[in-house]
Amino acid sequence: MTRIISIASGKGGVGKTTLVSNLSHVLTELGKDVTVIDANLTTPHLGLHLGFHMVPKSLHDFLRGDAKLKDIIYYHPYGFKVIPAGLSVNELIGVDANKLQNLTLNLLGKTDFILLDSAPSLGKEATLSLKISDEILLLTNPNIPAVLDILKVAKIAENLNKVILGIVVNRVNRKENELSLKEIEDLVKYPVISEIPEDINVQKSLTARRALVDYNPESPAAIEMRKLGYFLVGKEFNYKQSFLKRLFSWFK
Ligand SMILES: Nc1ncnc2c1ncn2[C@@H]1O[C@H](COP(=O)(O)OP(=O)(O)O)[C@@H](O)[C@H]1O
Ligand SMILES: [Mg+2]
């Protein structure tokens, strides 16, 4: 059975694309067939993160009716499939976003996981990816604006009868000015299932055009992202980090 999961935040810049790229790696490593889709049609970045930004045909071509599904699926060296969106604004002309559902329907039974990198905002595009998903991961940062936005996403997802897997809090510094995990849970009324620390290695991995879990698996954020991937398949990631490895990850 194919599970369709949206990583949604409402707000932009909280770490959706980063998390989607990393989860694709982890789920592949766990033996799952993964297809990741850039459902952020107006400001797509997934291709940039994964090295598929200069592709002959993209999701936009499919949505315009100018490409077949097989033409827009690209194979990442790590083993998962990527459906990137077009980067140029011109490519948005004539795009029928509702066709996104045709695409996921076509993939049903052919892959274990479809991960959707959702659009920011709560407009038509973002709501569409919620609509075509079965399960939603609410991604936020520990600040009021970001948390209020996932609260809205949660309400929309509830109205659509979707399963909300829980909240992922990214870029946690545990500083006083941040909302605590308890405060976030009290506001949104869903459990925090993952807490990913602020980690300089995230930026470094992006510069290297690699997923953090691959580039620096020992780094604090990579460990938490891997734990989340394991959680999605009902497994526990038991990580024992030796002192030497920790030291190495600091210097990398
Ligand atoms: N845990 C983290 N620690 C440090 N920087 C992060 C972390 N997660 C994301 N970032 C940075 O935040 C920025 C936005 O991330 P991105 O994944 O593009 O967000 P979104 O897709 O939600 O717009 C990027 O520069 C990324 O490197
Ligand atoms: Mg993004």
Query: Where residue 33 sits, what CATH number does that domain have?
Result: 3.40.50.300
Which residue ranges have their beta carbon within 6 Å of ligand 1? 9, 12-18, 45, 170-171, 196, 198-199, 202-203, 206, 221
Give residue 59's domain range.
Answer: 3-251
Of the ligands numbered here, which is closest to the C-alpha atom of 15? 1
- Alpha carbon dihedral 154, 156, 158, 159, in 10-degree steps, equals 170
Alpha-carbon dihedral of residues 28, 138, 38, 112, nearest 10 degrees? 30
pLDDT by residue, tens only, the chain of 252 residues = 999 999 999 899 999 999 999 999 999 999 999 999 998 877 788 888 888 878 999 998 999 899 999 999 999 999 999 999 987 767 777 777 788 899 999 999 999 999 999 888 777 777 888 999 999 999 999 999 999 999 999 999 999 999 999 999 999 999 999 999 999 999 999 999 999 999 999 999 999 989 999 999 999 999 999 999 999 999 999 877 667 777 776 776
Q: Are 16 and 140 in contact (CB under 8 A)?
A: no
Count of structural domains, the chain = 1
Nearest CA to ligand 1 atom 9: 15
pTM summary value: 0.93
Residue where the block lists tokens 């973002």 = 126
| Position 93, amino acid | I
Ligand 1, atom 27, residue with closest C-alpha: 203
| Burial 77-91, CB ≥16 within 10 A → b, else e | ebebbbbbbbbeeeb
Mutation pick for ligand 1 pocket among 18, 118, 125, 249 (CB with most ligand atoms within 8 Å)? 18
